[in-house]
Structure 1
Amino acid sequence: MIEEEEINVLLTDLLEIYGYDFTNYSRASLKRRIHRLWSLGKFSSFAELRYRIQSDANYMERFVEGLTVNVTEMFRDPAFYKSLRTVVIPTLASKPFIRIWHAGCSTGEEVYSMAILLKEANLLHKSLLYGTDLNPEVLDRARKGIFTAAPMKQYSESYILSGGTSDFSSYYTAQYGYVKFRYDLAEKMVFLTHNLVSDGSSNEFDLILCRNVLIYFDKALQQRVLGLFNESLGPLGYLALGAKETLKFSTLQPVFKQLDGEKIWRKIG
């Protein structure tokens, strides 16, 4: 097993050599992922692992991908998307232009889900969806809009539970076990590398979604990121978090009002 001090050395290498800052990530979950990567790589010593990270950029990217959590799906938690469809999106209709930020978007399934909601509300033509992530490899997959066909039946069921009434398969073409989503969805998306630990934001958004990312940060980093979201939201903008994430007990709680029963907050201050 890798010792605590050796983990600190690895995190310092990733920051000083490559600019990836994991020092304020939840230590318990970080240690689990590092130990998993150690076992998968069958390294004979810590020195071998460290040398591989320092000298092999391809392996370093795979190592970083292993440290970040890239589990996502389309219309994950249909009740959440139903609230977006029925409560949030109608309030955005009067805006001349709509900007939405998916922070920590991974391979982009939730960004495509949002594009479908906006398309069905006849708002996609005046919207721009930003998808950002620390990992450039998952963003490459998101830009292509190509996903395995296996989960599409589940995605279709979630789409219907979210209030969707179209044929879900009309949004993509299927071939050889993969699907590619329509260009009119993808053309309204911009995918960018962004580090929530250190980067700021130069846009003002109407809706920010960051679901199941903050749980991997320590309390200080959570507060910093929530502050970034607050600064990046326009007046009466919305912030959506994951099932185990909250603004309660945050210094920003008085600035937001929570939608009944949902992990969605509206900026009121």
Structure 2
Amino acid sequence: MVKLDMSVVQERISYEELEELISWINHIHGFDFSGYSRASLKRRVTRIMDIYGLDLFDLKGMLVNDHLFFEEFVVQITVNVTEMFRDPSFFRLVREKVIPYLTSFPRVKVWNAGCSTGEELYSFAILLKLEGLLERSFLYGTDINPRVLEKAKAGVYPLSNMKKYSENYLNTGYSGSLVDFYVAQYDAAAISNELKKNTLFSVHNLVSDRVFNEFQVVSCRNVLIYFNTDLQKRVLQLFYDSLCPFGFLCLGAKESLRAFDMTGRFRIVDKFENLYQKIG
């Protein structure tokens, strides 16, 4: 795909036209982007239009007549940035503060919302394996984007990425090697079947879909920052309803509950890693 020099991008769509496009996509495809940050959404739509040389009329035509283009549109609009053991300090905290709590449960369920291509969910699986909890755990990964979920289900990643992932893993404080959890196949790394058998990936839209289970851990890191305030409130309520009593909510480094009235509902476990525990 052609790389775009953002310094020369011209405005191809106004905010009024963006609202029209949001409504139109929801009507035609059932994808509701109305709660997304308008500034972020506008930048991404503009980028797509610039790459393909489209005006609003042509963009609509492509979205309704070309299914593959619509899939690519969703890929470009939704943010898919992830890696294994991203932010090692977060996983150290989970090991210290969350794992002792999970050991008291006969069954452990983890939901990674906005899981993208699955690296974070497999990181949780490795952590649970190392702590002797994987056999009684089940991990759900969900995303709005079906294309990235196919990659997550396959669990096959570029072998070149494993150097960075291995550094992250070692920085969590665990001994051994990340190579114990994947099989090298030429230039690819395949996650071990032992980790994959306890995972399930499925499409779930945080904007419109409801609670589908009760979890000890809900992790949704660096997703809420792309939503407006109203949608953030709705999604946080969804997570609250999805957690069992005293379950843990994991948010990203730039996200927190401080802007919302969650008094009596969550306690702060760590304000820097934005780890919370349901108490109400």
TM interval, short-chain normalised: over 0.9
Kept in 1, the 8 Å contact 2:113–2:218? The answer is yes
1:121 is the counterpart of 2:126: no
Q: Offset at 1:11?
A: 1.2
Aligned CA RMSD, in angstroms, stands at: 1.0
**Counterpart residue type for residue 118 of structure 2:** G
- Encode CA deviations 1:25-58: one digit per residue, 9 max, x unaligned: 0000000100111111122x32111100111111
Q: Where does residue 173 of structure 1 map in the other structure?
A: 183
Q: Where does residue 152 of structure 2 map in the other structure?
A: 142
| Equivalent-residue separation in structure 1 for 2:234 and 2:263 (angstroms) | 14
Structure 1 SS opposite 2:160:
coil
1:190 is the counterpart of 2:200: yes
What is the correspondence of 1:1-269 to structure 2 with a 5 Å cutoff? 1-43=12-54, 45-260=55-270, 261-269=272-280
| Equivalent-residue separation in structure 1 for 2:97 and 2:49 (angstroms) | 46
**Structure 1 gap segments, 5+ residues each:** none
Kept in 1, the 8 Å contact 2:170–2:177? The answer is no
- Encode CA deviations 1:169-226: one digit per residue, 9 max, x unaligned: 1111112211100001001001010000010012110000000000000000000000
Kept in 2, the 8 Å contact 1:247–1:253? The answer is no
Kept in 2, the 8 Å contact 1:204–1:233? The answer is yes
Q: TM-score, normalised by structure 1?
A: 0.97
| Equivalent-residue separation in structure 2 for 1:4 and 1:176 (angstroms) | 47
| Corresponding pairs, count | 268
Q: Offset at 1:127?
A: 0.3
| Equivalent-residue separation in structure 2 for 1:108 and 1:136 (angstroms) | 12
**Counterpart residue type for residue 21 of structure 1:** D
- Encode CA deviations 1:110-156: one digit per residue, 9 max, x unaligned: 00000000000010000000000000110010000001111211111
**Counterpart residue type for residue 129 of structure 1:** L
**Counterpart residue type for residue 163 of structure 2:** K
Structure 2 SS opposite 1:159:
helix
Q: Where does residue 7 of structure 2 map in the other structure?
A: none
Q: Offset at 1:5?
A: 2.4
176-185 or 3-12, which moves further after superposition? 3-12
Structure 2 SS opposite 1:151:
helix
| Equivalent-residue separation in structure 2 for 1:122 and 1:208 (angstroms) | 20
**For residues 243 and 155 of structure 1, do their structure 2 counterparts lie closer, same or farther at Cα, with a shift above 3 Å needed?**
same
| Equivalent-residue separation in structure 2 for 1:23 and 1:110 (angstroms) | 27
Q: Equivalent pairs: percent with the same residue?
A: 47
Kept in 2, the 8 Å contact 1:172–1:180? The answer is yes
**Structure 2 gap segments, 5+ residues each:** 1-11
- Encode CA deviations 1:41-79: one digit per residue, 9 max, x unaligned: 122x32111100111111001001111000101101000
**Counterpart residue type for residue 13 of structure 1:** W
| Equivalent-residue separation in structure 2 for 1:145 and 1:202 (angstroms) | 24
**For residues 253 and 156 of structure 1, do their structure 2 counterparts lie closer, same or farther at Cα, with a shift above 3 Å needed?**
farther
| Equivalent-residue separation in structure 2 for 1:174 and 1:42 (angstroms) | 40
